[in-house]
Amino acid sequence: MAEVRIEGLTKYFGDTCAVNQLNLVVNDGDLVVLLGPSGCGKTTTMRCVAGLERPTYGDIYIGETRVNDLEPRERDVALVFQSYALYPHFTAFDNIAYPLRLRKTPKDEIERRVRDVAEMLGITHTLERPPGLCSGGEQQRIALGRAIVREPVVFLMDEPLSNIDALLRVYMRAEIKRLQHELGTTMIYVTHDQVEGMTMADQIAVMNQGTLQQLGTPSEIYDMPANNFVARFVGSTPMNFIPGALQKENGKTVHKSDQFVIPVSAEMADRAAELCPSGVCTLGVRPEEIRFTMDDDGANQARVFLLEPLGSETILDIEKEGLLLKVKDVAATQVREGDTLSLSFNRFHLFDDDTGAAIR
């Protein structure tokens, strides 16, 4: 058990900067998800912690030890690969036993620990088979078993669920989270799937183009995105963005765009005046934060052009003058395609167009 501290991590591959000045502290026993699109540097960061890559600059600490110059085997860190990377010429048992054998663990203890782990993961029946004869889910568990059996101080997971089918993934992510809670081991989990990040993480670190965009709990990331990248990336129905500018109208500040005029609270207006003097900013609003009424004389009218029923809720695709909005209708109102709705915007964010940063 240990915390992981990353200080000023920078990694270049040739001239390409994969990770730039990353600072991150993973508390002991926490599950931190590195979330970002492919090529954002999350996997490189994790490989630096694993010891498979050497940082160009910066330091990595596991517990109190600076590990920069330690070989992977000296770090006591386990890594589950996206491809599982099982040893095809060993049986599942030998795969799981391999780290223990390297540590010269006594034979009967290996036997006991491998069986325990296999039981915990429900793969006892596969132990005598080579991984090639196991299903994807079983291979996944064997890879997990190989990581768990040696009781490392830190778990690293590199998109471990991206190769199994969607249904199984939902179960496996809960299972990994449960395992992590039970074992109480620090875990760094890399994924590009924001749902995985939201459901599993104690803390999410959103990365883009090698830099850390925001670190926070899932609800902080969702409710208070630090910039428009985070806002765009997180949320299974993406946030709506309305470009425009802040203006004074009748002594009150409004966000005026080609399509809508949206009143802005006095507090927010004050912050905006300070942080974004030009007033040019994009308004971001989550699909569930747009309220609508069916009357056709209210402000901010728009037309429904498509319904996307999801069973428990319906997504309304609303269009106005070239701008598309997605609105979540949880209450199952009888909206039909072609209806005109009046929209009001409950909670929204403003993002400075120059920097992309949230105004708050």
Which stretches of the chain bind other proteins, using CB under 8 A? 50-52, 71-73, 77-79, 81-89, 98-99, 102-103, 131-132, 136, 139, 146, 150, 163-164
Nearer to other proteins, 49 or 358 (CB): 49
> What is 236-258 written as a DSSP string?
SSPPEEEEEEEEEETTEEEEE-S
> Which lies closer to other proteins via its Cβ, residue 137 or residue 244?
137
Helix (H, G, I), strand (E, B) or coil at 262: strand
Measured from the CB atom, the residue of 165 and 295 that comes closer to other proteins is 165
Helix (H) or strand (E) holding 138: helix 136-148
If the CB atoms of residues 101 and 125 are measured against other proteins, the closer one turns out to be 101
Q: Which run of H or E residues covers position 96?
A: helix 92-102
| C-alpha–C-alpha distance, residues 231 and 319, integer Å | 21
Nearest distance, CB of residue 283 and other proteins, angstroms? 42
User: In the bound complex, what is the minimum distance in angstroms from residue 103's beta carbon to other proteins?
Assistant: 6
Contacts of residue 186, defined as CB under 8 A and 6 or more positions apart, other chains included, come to 1, 2, 3, 4, 26, 27, 28, 29, 30, 31, 153, 154, 155
Closer residue to other proteins, CB minimum distance, 137 or 287: 137
| DSSP notation for 285-336 | E-GGGEEEES-SSSSSEEEEEEEEE-SS-EEEEEEETTEEEEEEE-S-----
Name the minimum Å distance from CB 53 to other proteins: 10
| Dihedral over Cα of 180, 182, 183, 185: its sign | positive
We find the least distance from the C-beta atom of residue 7 to other proteins, in angstroms, to be 23
At a CB cut-off of 8 Å and minimum separation 6, what does 219 contact?
Answer: none
- Closest to other proteins by CB, 87 vs 305, is 87
**Min CB(195)–other proteins separation in Å:** 20
